[in-house]
Amino acid sequence: MVKLTGVYKGMRKGYGETLIELGKKYENLVVLDADLSGSTQTAMFAKEFPDRFFNAGVAEQNMIGMAAGLATTDKIVFASSFSMFASGRAWEIIRNLVAYPKLNVKIVATHAGITVGEDGASHQMCEDIAIMRAIPNMVVIAPTDYYHTKNVIRVIADYKGPVYVRMPRRDTEIIYENEEEATFEIGKGKVLVEGDDLTIIATGEEVPEALRAAEILKENGISAEIVEMATIKPIDEEIIKKSKDFVVTVEDHNIIGGLGGAVAEVIASNGLNKKLLRIGINDVFGRSGKADELLKYYGLDGESIAKRIMEEMKKE
């Protein structure tokens, strides 16, 4: 059972800790970073396994090229940087050297979305889901919390092929009691809360905000089903088909090409008679500010999400 705990912990910390666990399990696992290992938390692995850690420097394209080369020697490769650089600056190298030959490279990017905060628009990557899911052979994932991240990293280590994982900079609210509760399967969504009036499909750090919105809606007599959609590609079409007639997507990402776009494609392609409201970054660049203030400014906090949904339901 999930719940808002009021306890916050970084997904990237869960990533770093799990890399050490996997390093002990798999002798052929290697980790690369683009001179940001303190921020991405791969420094934990570097300290434990210095011979299997490679700092490519501020050269993300070279890092991905190195990762591809190592993958051809039967290595399980994790490569990390900020999402702006890992997915943006290195996109063509990822496409041609990793995804095209379907190499076993896991690109785990931190500092995704608007909540990078004071770093501002140049570092707020709100387009990475869109550009990464457009690449054939690429799996795209956004974990929910600290415990969930640990299971995501374990699962993708066993998956053969390219994967892109995005996670935020800030500590996020834990909604799972433990790792056993935080189950994850590639391509499968999960109903966290049953509801009758609408379905909210959320991904990443917006899942706790969706839960918060559901509580507010309940106080106003509205019953919301909450779906955690950690895998944006391949997306779980069946859970979307079973959703209520009013579907709301919530993401810390541009509504164009992200979770909202992916859900819209499923609804349209299957001729589903569903109303869709996409809540996210409305095709604008970010701005500097504290993470919580930015969530509210862009309408991504629980209160704003609930208010937007109630306004939309009044139109019917």
Residues noted as catalytic:
60
Rounded to whole angstroms, how far apart are CA atoms 56 and 80?
10
Indicate the pairing of strand 105-110 with strand 231-233: unpaired
Give the span between the Cα atoms of 236 and 189, in whole angstroms: 6
- The CA-atom distances, in angstroms, between 233 and each of 85, 91, 200 are 20, 17, 18
Token pair for residue 195? 């509801």
In eight-state DSSP terms, residue 3 is -
Q: Is 220 exposed, middle or buried (0-12, 13-18, 19+ CB in 10 A)?
A: exposed
Strands (E) in 258-305, as ranges, are 275-281
CA 292 vs. chain centroid, Å, equals 18
DSSP 125: B
Residues 6+ apart with CB under 8 A from 268: none
The dihedrals phi and psi of 30, each to the nearest 5 degrees, come to -130, 155
Nearest-5° Cα angle at 270, 277 to 307:
10
Q: What residues have CB less than 8 Å from 81, skipping those under 6 apart?
A: 33, 34, 36, 40, 60, 63, 90, 109, 110
- Cα separation, 93 vs 100, in Å, equals 10
